[in-house]
Amino acid sequence: MSDFTKLSIEELNKNKNELIKRYNEFKSQKLELDMTRGKPCPEQLDLSMDLLQFADKDNYKTQNGVDCRNYGGVDGIPEAKNLFSQYLEVEPDEIIVGGNASLTFMHDTFMRAMIHGVDEDSVPWSKQPKLKFLCPSPGYDRHFSICEFMGIEMITIEMDENGPDMDIVENLVSEDESIKGIWCVPKYSNPSGITYSDEVIDRLSSMKTKASDFRIFCDNAYSAHHLTDTPDKLKNILEACKKAGNPDRVYIFGSTAKITFAGGGVSMMAGSKKNIDRAKKQLIIQSIGPDKINQLRHVCFFKDMDGVTNLMKKHAMILKPKFDAVQTILERELAGKNIVQWSNPKGGYFVSINTLDNCAKDIVKMASDAGVKLTPAGATYPYKNDPRDRNIRVAPSFPGLNDINKAMELFAICIQIVSINKLLK
Ligand code: PLP
């Protein structure tokens, strides 16, 4: 395939005319396709329907006899703590199993730090003169929304295939006391799909921070969400923090949102026993306890970690052909043209695309004008501002294969037209 950056003006115009013809054909079909949010598709949700048969009139007690229909147990039922502590690779006394959304845990952990500080000895974040947070990007838009909501200044940190640029991270945190933490999605990251290297985990855990109340918000949302038989391995960050003498540095979050039901699963928060004990004391003010019935259902449904692993294999069988379709079309339409790079993730929910600079917004608009909705350009950066206007997140989990094929072909056409326009300028 021809490298667009090496074509003459005539050749570029010829390509553009053909592409515009194809674009108009798509437009006349009046498509209504949505590639925006990383939601499980109905076939994935169907995999967990048996969950609903558990916790019935004969089965509503935990193994130690606690009645799940009643109040209590702010940190979750023991069997859920046992199962999900294995899932997050921590000890049962280092986890709280909560309600239906890990994002709530993240938001509330921020809020508690703002109002009460991260431990007894530290000043509440909101009483400190200036607050900043490191945001490896492209990243998860809802993390950035939490910072924005709390008035915390966000600093964009570039990512590579190993994780955030640690030279920059180390430099910044060693000098600036107002930097209170960093967001991380360490496995099959949203949206780049990368898994942090051991070295990045070690450096995050051991780096010197000017702020004594610095925290890593480690959102392990895609811990078991493999698309291949050779899953990425993530180094245990809580262990690494303990080893480095910073046991309280990390909060870990996770949920079954994309294992069982999105919005109807269970969430978890993990960390050092000290952090977890403090969170429990504060949580009890907010709630007398989580939905234990749903926790019991989940435990009965999974039985053990093998149950989780086997279910995730079934998810992968549904998702893999969709991710493959994205790769096939991007490869067919764009390989060798030197106008775009894209990820080929081994897990998670997204494909991340980097176009030529200053093209992403125009591409997303052009696709939308022809009936294909993509995540707004910029959404993967703090303040929705991608400084190079080049990153686009594609979420192939929800639409059917036919829709993905159509949407990706149109998307690839838009990428080419906008890139040619840019090259012609
Ligand atoms: N964290 C990440 C990185 C996500 O991508 C998502 C959903 O897309 C969530 C958290 C949401 O999880 P929950 O439904 O448990 O709040």
Q: Any idea what the Cα angle at residue 260 is, between residues 255 and 264, rounded to 5°?
A: 70
* CATH architecture group of domain 61-303: 3-Layer(aba) Sandwich (3.40)
DSSP states of 188-240:
S-TTT-----HHHHHHHHH---S-TT-EEEEE-TTTT-BSSSS------HHHH
Residues whose CB falls within 8 Å of the CB of residue 382, separated by 6 or more in sequence, listed in order? 135, 137, 144, 147, 148, 154, 155, 156
- Domain residue extents for the chain: 4-44+309-424, 61-303
Q: Which atom of ligand 1 is nearest to the CA of 258?
A: 14
Cα–Cα distances in Å, from 373 out to 167, 192, 344, 368? 37, 19, 21, 5
Residue from 36, 97, 103 whose mutation best tests the ligand 1 pocket (most atoms within 8 A of CB): 103
**291: nearest Cα among 46, 122, 70:** 70
pLDDT at 1 over 80: no
Residue 93: CB atoms within 10 Å: 12
Question: What is the average pLDDT value for the chain, to the nearest integer?
Answer: 97
- pLDDT, tens digit, for every residue of 154-185? 999 999 999 999 999 999 999 999 999 999 99
Question: Distance from the CA of 250 to the center of ligand 1, in angstroms?
Answer: 18
Instruction: Write the CATH number of the domain with boundaries 4-44+309-424.
Output: 3.90.1150.10
Q: Which residue blocks in 303-380 are alpha helix, DSSP H? A: 305-334, 360-369
Rounded to an integer, what distance in angstroms lies between the CA atom of residue 399 and that of residue 288? 39
pLDDT digits 0-9 by tens, 38-80: 899 999 999 999 999 999 899 999 999 999 999 999 999 999 9
Q: Rounded distance, CA 10 to CA 299, Å?
A: 64
CA–centroid distance, 394 to ligand 1, in Å, is 16
* Ligand 1, CB cutoff 6 Å, lining residues: 38, 101-103, 140, 185, 190, 219, 221, 255, 257, 262, 267
Encode pLDDT of 184-216 as tens digits.
Answer: 999 999 999 999 999 999 999 999 999 999 999
Residue 3 CA, ligand 1 centroid: distance in Å: 38
Residues contacting 65, CB < 8 A, separation 6+: none
Query: In 10 A of CB 32, how many CB atoms?
Result: 9
For atom 8 of ligand 1, which residue has the closest CA?
38
State pLDDT tens for residues 337-364: 999 999 999 999 999 999 999 999 999 9
> Tell me: the pLDDT tens digits for 312-336?
999 999 999 999 999 999 999 999 9
pLDDT category at 37 given cuts 50, 70, 90 is confident
Q: Cα–Cα distance between 167 and 158 in angstroms, integer?
A: 11
> What's the CA-to-centroid distance between 255 and ligand 1, angstroms?
8
pTM of the model: 0.97
Q: What is the mean pLDDT of residues 97-107?
A: 98
CA-closest residue to ligand 1 atom 2: 221
Mutate to test the pocket of ligand 1, among 44, 255, 268 (most ligand atoms within 8 A of CB): 255
Which whole-number Å values give the CA distances from 143 to 94, 101, 138, 257, in the listed order? 23, 13, 11, 16
Percentage of the chain beyond pLDDT 90 is: 98
Query: Of all protein residues, whose CA lies closest to atom 1 belonging to ligand 1?
Result: 221
User: Tens digit of pLDDT for each residue in 8-20?
Assistant: 999 999 999 999 9
Evaluated on CA atoms 97, 101, 103, 108, the torsion sign reads negative
Output the CA–CA distances (angstroms, integers) from residue 366 to 116, 146, 289, 325, in the order listed. 47, 30, 48, 21
